[in-house]
Amino acid sequence: MTRLFNEPAAFADEMIEGFVASHGRWVRRVSGGVARSTKSTADTVALVIGGGSGHYPAFAGLVGQGLAHGAAMGNLFASPSAQQVYSVAKAANNGAGVLLGYGNYAGDVLHFTQAQERLRREGIDCRSIAVTDDVSSAPLEERAKRRGIAGDLTVFKVAAAAAEAGYSMDATVEIAERANDRTRSFGVAFTGCTLPGAENPLFTVPEGRMAVGMGIHGEPGIDETGIPTADELAVLLVTKLLTEVPDGLESPPETNKRARVVPILNGLGSVKYEELFVVYRRVAQLLAAAGLEAVDPQVGELVTSFDMAGTSLTLFWLDEELETLWNAPADTPAFRRGAVTAQALNADELSAETAEDVVIPEATDESRAAAVRVLAALGAAKDVVDANVEELGRIDAVAGDGDHGIGMERGVRAAVEAATDAVERGAGAATTLHLAADAWADRAGGTSGALWGMALRAVGDAIGDSHTPDGGAVAAGVAGAAASIVGFGKAKVGDKTLVDVLVPFRDALSAAVGSGQSLTDAWGAAATVAQQAAEETANLLPLMGRARPHAEKSLGTPDAGAVSMALIVRAIHNTFAEAKAAATTTKENA
């Protein structure tokens, strides 16, 4: 388990602070993560990578000459927010555009895509490469759904070397996609991992058993076997990967030409290097027997998962160009090869970024009064999340990574802080919601952070800063939230996500408001529908997100995102009812 920490909620920030303090030769702190502390060649593509913290040396350990120009660093096992990605990309941009690289997880896709769109609106050429190397996370015919694990390294290294060599953006993207197409990974675990402050691991493996096909966020494996010997494990890993030789790379025996591969045996946190060497001994023998030539083998910790006991094998199938780029010099905290000439940035270039003060727009007295009610609603959401954080994590851990409660807690607390500041500065209801939305998305990260940020912003757009929000405006805001979330996340009713609650809640609220009910009564009726919808997700199989590869495990358990949404809308209704009762009492006493 993770033993050395102060306040668990501050762990990621304190970790980044210590990393930068100890690796100033390579990196500097920027808003949202880290960037190179050395000069990059002007007018070349910048590679910005990123993901959740907890996987060191991914992602910050790969920032430096010859590899990434910057890394956006999210909270533990949660994707960085769109704001973080945007900030790092702006700091790393060399003038020829930014290529964003990340593992193919729902939260990362949402946030990196939002950042990409924002950069493009500012005239910066921005593209993305989502790594999909994990063969256990989706079948071959659905490769685009696969997640990224230790194969991140091969894709990032090749793309960065191409950028460093002056490739155009189009050429850099092409070579990154080719590297991704030629990278396959497969892993196992013997124990789960435990986040700082948590009493229990995100998942457990029975004593004497091994989880097969686990993910780097603690997602349970897709199978379970007895613990093999080192040689038996090598056979399992190699055999599985050789069933997926990339198209056109099988070498006919009569050619006497051996295909060349980079093997990466990755430790996930607590398997010792000596154990990895014993396993790699047999991996090397099996690759040679299969007619493959191992090029520059990598054995060690490259993408970890805190204290998880496990390992994965990656095979990267080379061609001449890919091999040249893989072998190009690099100098980063965690990955070095060859000789790199690096010139440190000067004092002006290293100067701290100054945060822009948020200007509070003018608002009417009615809207300022409504902002106070918005703050009360967010406070109720915070209280109900705080009271259920462990249960939300438990539900999420059944088939996911178990961090939903933690992410929701971080997000809603940040939203309340931002809303409190906004109300104190005289903000109207819309501005209060917009600032709360940005804070929630930025602090929570992950899929839930992106979606709740969209939801709050959509409601703010609908109610404005000029009037007292009525039922029609609020219902329109909820409808806008549903449209934004469904349009961006692509989930639909039946996929076992929060959409299974949001859509029926939207419909019930709109119908009740349309029939003439007060906002309080309409919201209460819709909250009852939401609660029932959340309970019914227990009968669904997940078709989106990290839980999808473990669909059967989740039968009988409701979706964590659906449950948290139902809890929040009920808590918000309670604030409406309390305000209505208080107003009635005041009127009667007048």
Residue 305 carries which side chain, given as an amino acid letter? S
pLDDT score for 48: 98
Give residues with Cβ within 8 angstroms of 314, minimum separation 6.
Answer: 133, 149, 150, 151, 153, 154, 183, 184, 185, 262, 263, 264, 266
| Residue 319 in this model has a pLDDT that exceeds 60 | yes
Output phi, psi for 140, to 5 deg. -60, -35
Task: Report the pLDDT averaged over residues 381-409.
Answer: 87
User: Which ranges of 35-168 would DSSP assign to H, the alpha helix?
Assistant: 82-92, 106-121, 152-164
pLDDT bracket for residue 250 (50, 70, 90): low
What are the beta bridge partners of residue 461? none
475's enclosing H/E stretch is: helix 471-489
pLDDT score for 354: 46
pLDDT bracket for residue 253 (50, 70, 90): very low
**pLDDT tens string 91-127:** 999 999 999 999 999 889 999 999 999 999 999 999 9
Given the residues 23, 55, 69, 217, select the one marked as catalytic: 217
Task: Report the pLDDT averaged over residues 436-449.
Answer: 88
What are the beta bridge partners of residue 226? 209
Whole-number average pLDDT of the chain: 91
| Residue 504 in this model has a pLDDT that exceeds 90 | yes
Degrees to nearest 5, angle at CA 534 with 531 and 539: 135
Task: Report the pLDDT averaged over residues 168-184.
Answer: 98
Cα–Cα dist 63/52, whole Å = 15
| Residue 352 in this model has a pLDDT that exceeds 50 | no
**Which residue did the predictor score with more confidence, 491 or 387?**
387
pLDDT score for 254: 47
Long-range CB contact pairs, 534-539, < 8 A, 24+: 534/500, 534/501, 534/558, 534/559, 534/562, 534/563, 534/565, 534/566, 536/500, 537/496, 537/500, 537/501, 537/562, 537/563
Q: Whole-prediction pTM value?
A: 0.82
Per the CB < 8 A criterion, the answer to whether 366 and 355 are in contact is no
pLDDT bracket for residue 589 (50, 70, 90): low
User: If we measure between CA atoms, which residue out of 339, 304, 321 comes closest to residue 61?
Assistant: 304
pLDDT score for 326: 98
- Three-state DSSP class for residue 440: helix
Cα 115 to its chain centre, rounded Å, is 13
Class of domain 8-334: alpha beta
550 is catalytic: no
pLDDT score for 396: 87
| Residue 350 in this model has a pLDDT that exceeds 50 | yes
Encoding tokens for residue 449?
């952070």
Task: Report the pLDDT averaged over residues 134-145.
Answer: 93
CA atoms within 13 A on the CB side of 64: 25
Encoding tokens for residue 404?
């939903």
Task: Report the pLDDT averaged over residues 487-496.
Answer: 87
| Residue 87 in this model has a pLDDT that exceeds 90 | yes
How many beta carbons lie within 10 A of that of residue 144, not counting itself?
Answer: 9
Where do the structural domains in the chain lie, given as residue ranges?
8-334, 365-589
pLDDT score for 324: 97
Query: What homologous superfamily is domain 365-589 in, according to CATH?
Result: DhaL domain (1.25.40.340)
**pLDDT tens string 517-558:** 999 999 999 999 999 999 999 999 877 655 555 556 778 899
DSSP state of 359: P
Strands (E), 306-368: 310-317, 330-331, 336-337
pLDDT score for 347: 55
pLDDT score for 310: 94
DSSP state of 58: T
Cα–Cα dist 108/128, whole Å = 11
Task: Report the pLDDT averaged over residues 190-218.
Answer: 84
Cα–Cα dist 351/328, whole Å = 31
